[in-house]
Amino acid sequence: MSTRLLVTLCCALGALLPPPVAAAMTFDPVELGSYHIHYHARFEPGTGLAHASMTVRQTAGELEWLDFTAPEARNFDFRGDGRITRTGDRVRWEVPEAGGRLDYRVRVERRRGKGFDARMTDDWVIMRLDHLFPSARVSTRAREVSIPSLGFDGPKGWSFETRYGSGADTVQLPAGDRRFVRPTGWMAAGRLSIRRDRIADRSVVVAGPLDERLRSQDIMAFLRWTLPTLTEVFPGFPPRVLLVNAGDPMWRGGLSGPGSFYMHSDRPLISGNGTSTLLHELVHVATTSVARPGNDWIVEGLAEYYSLEILRRSGTISRSRFLRSLRRLEDWAERDEGRLTSPSSGANTARAVLLFRALDRELERAGKGGLDAVATPLLQGPPLSLERLRELSTAALGKPSRALERGIQAWLKPPAT
C-alpha cells in the first residue's frame, strides 16, 4: 500500500469518528486547562532537615506564581527555576511558562509544651505534611486546576505512610476542580510498625516507630467496636484514615488533621472520666466544616460529647457509666467555672458538653431523633458557626431551642474586643 493511500484512509476514518471520541483520542490534561505539580521530600537524619521540592509541568504558563507562608526559621534556602523573592515571612515563586522546579529546606523539629509535635530521629520522622509544603496564594492564567502527586525519599529500608497511601512510590492526590492542592495531614516515615485493616468500609492504618509499645492491635480492636457507630453519625467520614502513634518525647496528647491524627501511645483508649481521646480526634477527622472564628467551643464540645456518646451507643460502656461521666463533667464545669469560650479546653469544653447533652434531650423529647439531627449537618456542612447551630436546631424542632438559648445566655463568654 502506498504512503499516499495510507494517509488518505487514515484521514477518512478520522472524519467518521464522532467529535467526543476524536477528542478523547488526543486528550492531554495539561493542554485542557490543567497543570501537573509533583511534591517530593527527602529526609536526612542527623541534620534535622528535610529537602523539599515542587515540580510543575505545564505547556503555556497555566500556573503563574505561588506566594508561600514560609518563615525563615522553618522554611529556607529557596532556589530553583524562575524568579524567587522573599519578603519577610513570605516567599514568592514566579513559575516559568513551561514549568520548573522549586527546592527548599525544612527544619523538621517543632516543640509543643514539654514535648514535640514534629520530630526526626536516626530511625523515624513524625510530622504534618502541611509543614513540609506550606500554604500558598496562587495565580493561574484562567481557571486551570492542578493534578498533584506526592513522593518521598530517605535512608535505605525506610517506609512512608500518609493519609493518601504509602509514599514509597508516587501517590496521586485527589484534586477535584481546585486550582491548587497541596498535601495535608499527618505522616510517619522510617523504620515503622504498620497495621492495616478494613473497618466500617474504611481503610484504617496505624503506624509508628518500630520497637515502641504502640498497642496497634488494641487500637484496631477498639475501632472495630466504635468506628461503625461513628460512621453512622458522620457518613462523610473519609474512606481512608491514618493514625500516627508514638511515645516520648512526642507531645502527650492527640492532634487531628485531614484524614489523619496523631496520638501519644500512653494515652488510654478510654480515660478516667469516661471520654476517649481517640474518638474525640476521630470526630475532628469526620468534621469537614470550617469553623468561623470564636466557635471553637462548638467544635470541641461536640467532639467530646460524641466521644462519650459513641462509647455508649456501641456498647463499649454502659448507660450508667455514661451518666456518671456526665456528672463528672458537670462537677468539673461547676468547680472551675467553665464557660462557652474559644479556644476551648478543660472545664470550658465540659460546659459545652453539658449544653449539647441538654439539646440532645430536648430533641429526643420532641421526637426528632436527638442531637444527630443537628450535629451531622453542622459538622459536615457549610462553615460552622453559632448562627448555623441555631438555624439547624430551630429547623429540627420547628422553633428555637430553649436548651440552647438558656445555655448561651448563662455561659457564653463574649469574644474579647
pLDDT in tens, the chain (417 residues): 443 443 343 343 333 333 332 223 233 444 457 999 999 999 999 999 999 999 999 999 999 999 999 999 999 999 999 999 999 999 999 999 999 999 999 999 999 999 999 999 999 999 999 999 999 999 999 888 999 999 999 999 999 999 999 877 789 999 877 889 999 999 999 999 999 999 999 999 999 999 888 889 999 999 999 999 999 999 999 999 999 999 999 999 999 999 999 999 999 999 988 899 999 999 999 999 988 999 999 999 999 999 999 999 999 999 999 999 999 999 999 999 999 999 999 999 999 999 999 999 999 999 999 999 999 999 988 889 999 999 999 999 999 999 999 999 999 976 555
Distance CA 148, CA 174 (A): 8
pLDDT at 415: 57
Distance CA 280, CA 304 (A): 6
Distance CA 17, CA 336 (A): 75
Which residue type occupies 176? G
Q: How far is CA 258 from CA 83, 184, 207, in A?
A: 32, 7, 16
Distance CA 281, CA 45 (A): 30
End-to-end C-alpha distance for the chain, whole angstroms: 85
Q: Quick one: CA dihedral 229, 230, 234, 240, positive or negative?
A: negative
pLDDT at 166: 87
The structural domains of the chain, ordered by start, are 35-110+133-151+164-178 (2.60.40), 296-411 (no CATH)
pLDDT at 20: 32
Nearest to 39 by CA among 24, 50, 55: 55
Question: pTM to 2 decimals?
Answer: 0.87
- The neighbour count for residue 305, using CB atoms within 10 Å, is 26
Distance of CA 141 to the CA centre of its chain: 29
pLDDT at 2: 44
pLDDT at 143: 83
Give residues with Cβ within 8 angstroms of 16, minimum separation 6.
Answer: none
Distance CA 109, CA 153 (A): 18
Q: Count the alpha carbons within 13 Å of 158 in the hemisphere toward its beta carbon.
A: 26
- The neighbour count for residue 402, using CB atoms within 10 Å, is 13
Which residue type occupies 112? R
Sort strands 34-44 and 145-153 into parallel, antiparallel or unpaired. parallel
pLDDT at 416: 57
Nearest to 166 by CA among 133, 203, 134, 121: 203
Contact predicate 314/229, CB 8 Å: yes
Distance CA 144, CA 7 (A): 35
pLDDT at 381: 84
